[in-house]
Amino acid sequence: MMSQMPQPTALSRCPSCEEPLEAGDRFCGACGYDLSAVPEPPQDEPTITMNGTSPRPPSAVSSVDWPVAPEVDSSDTPAPVHRATDIRGTDSGGTELPRAAHESAGVRFDRPREPDEYPLAPPAEARSEARSEAQAEARHETPAEPPADPRTADLATPPAGTRLCVACRAGSVDNDGYCENCGHAQPRERDHMEQELSAVSAVSDRGLRHHRNEDAFTISTTALPDGAPAVVAIVCDGVSSATRPDEASLAASRAAGESLLAALPLGTHPQQAMHEAILAAAEAVNSIADAPASHDEHAPHVNAPACTIVGAVVTPTLLIIGWVGDSRAYWVPVDRASPPARLTEDDSWAAQMVAAGLMNEAEAYADERAHAITGWLGADAYELEPHTASFKPDRPGVVVVCTDGLWNYAEAAEDMAEVVPLDAAERPLHSAQVLVGHALDGGGHDNVTVAVVPFPAPSQGAGSA
């Protein structure tokens, strides 16, 4: 028969070293403590009154010098309220804390209520006017009328050449592009541009990802020697990897437009005039290139300004397209039962792969090198090869002249035709706005520029512009 041994109290941890125990242990495996000799549990010392009994007095060996609350008589007088700042504070060594330290500790409940709104300080002009009103009141004078709210009042037309702030509509804009009244930075002129003529319209937008607009366009109308109207649209896209691409596109579009307006009234064939316009645009871009710092053969390569170009000339019977780079022109007939067409072939890596039969179009344009251009206007272009083409459409339609900021979101001719409004021939500006909006809704990853030119050129559009 097994002898009866005194069973130790079931414990989960050693009372001496807090080491975890297992059932049946008689001694602590860590410190050797005799688990059969368990000390009595400490007596409870409640700190608040419960069930009507008074708390026991604190132990005489307590190391904390607690403040003694003053006695209160048995009347109905409520106990006095003590704030934390009224009690002397000490650190762990018994040294009294500085007054500022224990006053700032904890949460303050005696702070004034925070306002629901924080009114903005009035601008300097308003403060000055308030002082004037106060001074006038002290002199018993009638104060001047307060300024009108620019959001609701009819503002006077600003002097010629003065730009008004787009935010407050009251302050003028300084030379650095900031409002002198509210300090709001103004949008740059080229961030969003629109132009409407009787026979052509164009819209250009910075997009949603770029910090500036590096596209440019020129639209105009003129007359051929026989009096027939001719409509011109030029669109250029600055090459972002080059220096000053915005200047390159602007110079190229202006030079090409001026060249066409000079050549067409003289009777130059529109296709020849387009070829000469592209050459003039190239010269304009070359002229703004920085000269090399040194002619030494070891001088670093100069990254010259560069851009692409695409243009259209529309007459009552002819449609002429010219281009260098990957900006495009599309034909979209008014009768959507007729097929649309792309009128240009890109100067790009993808187009070269397709032309050489090395890839199909889907594979080539899916490659990360697809949009690397192989032709551009600029001083460092390998060889300038202007492309021109002449068409004689047999039905009315519109020509869409655009940068890749648009056709990236409507690449195939059928895709472009789907997003061109049905009334594009009657409302070219609205159509250009819709197309730019389509690119922005698609992500706006690039600058986007589009010109919409109805064909045939309407007779009422004749005349220089």
Cα gap 355→345, rounded to integer Å: 10
Q: What is the pLDDT of residue 362?
A: 86
**pLDDT bucket at 49, cuts 50 / 70 / 90:** very low
Average pLDDT, integer, range 368-376: 90
Average pLDDT, integer, range 42-63: 45
Q: Could you count the other beta carbons within 10 Å of the beta carbon of residue 408?
A: 17
Higher pLDDT, 183 or 157: 183
Q: What is the pLDDT of residue 172?
A: 86
Q: 392 pLDDT exceeds 80?
A: yes
Per-residue pLDDT of 191-219, as tens digits, reads 999 999 989 999 999 999 988 999 999 99
pTM assigned to the model: 0.61
Higher pLDDT, 59 or 462: 59
Residue pair 433/371 in contact by the 8 Å Cβ criterion = no
Cα gap 176→160, rounded to integer Å: 19
Per-residue pLDDT of 60-84, as tens digits, reads 444 545 455 555 555 555 555 555 4
Per-residue pLDDT of 95-116, as tens digits, reads 665 554 444 444 444 445 545 4
Q: What is the pLDDT of residue 398?
A: 98
Q: What is the pLDDT of residue 188?
A: 81
Positive or negative torsion for Cα 275, 281, 287, 290: negative
The listed range with the strongest mean pLDDT (69-78, 159-168, 172-181, 256-265) is: 256-265
Per-residue pLDDT of 283-335, as tens digits, reads 999 999 864 544 444 444 558 999 999 999 999 999 999 999 999 999 999 99
User: Which residue's structure tokens are 């730009």?
Assistant: 163
Per-residue pLDDT of 140-154, as tens digits, reads 555 555 555 544 555
Q: What is the pLDDT of residue 330?
A: 98
Lowest model confidence (mean pLDDT) among 36-50, 238-252, 379-393, 443-457: 36-50
Which of 457, 432, 448 is closest to 196 using CA atoms?
A: 432
Residue pair 246/211 in contact by the 8 Å Cβ criterion = no
417-439 in b/e burial notation, b at 16+ Cβ within 10 A? bebbbeebbebbbbbbbbbbebb
**pLDDT bucket at 59, cuts 50 / 70 / 90:** very low
Per-residue pLDDT of 401-441, as tens digits, reads 999 999 999 999 999 999 999 999 999 999 999 999 999 99
Q: 12 pLDDT exceeds 90?
A: no
Q: What is the pLDDT of residue 415?
A: 97
**pLDDT bucket at 40, cuts 50 / 70 / 90:** low
Q: What is the pLDDT of residue 381?
A: 87
Q: What is the pLDDT of residue 75?
A: 54
Mean confidence (pLDDT) of the chain? 78
Q: What is the pLDDT of residue 102?
A: 42
Report the Cα 412 to chain-centroid distance in Å.
28
Burial of 203 (0-12, 13-18, 19+ CB in 10 A): buried
Q: 345 pLDDT exceeds 70?
A: yes
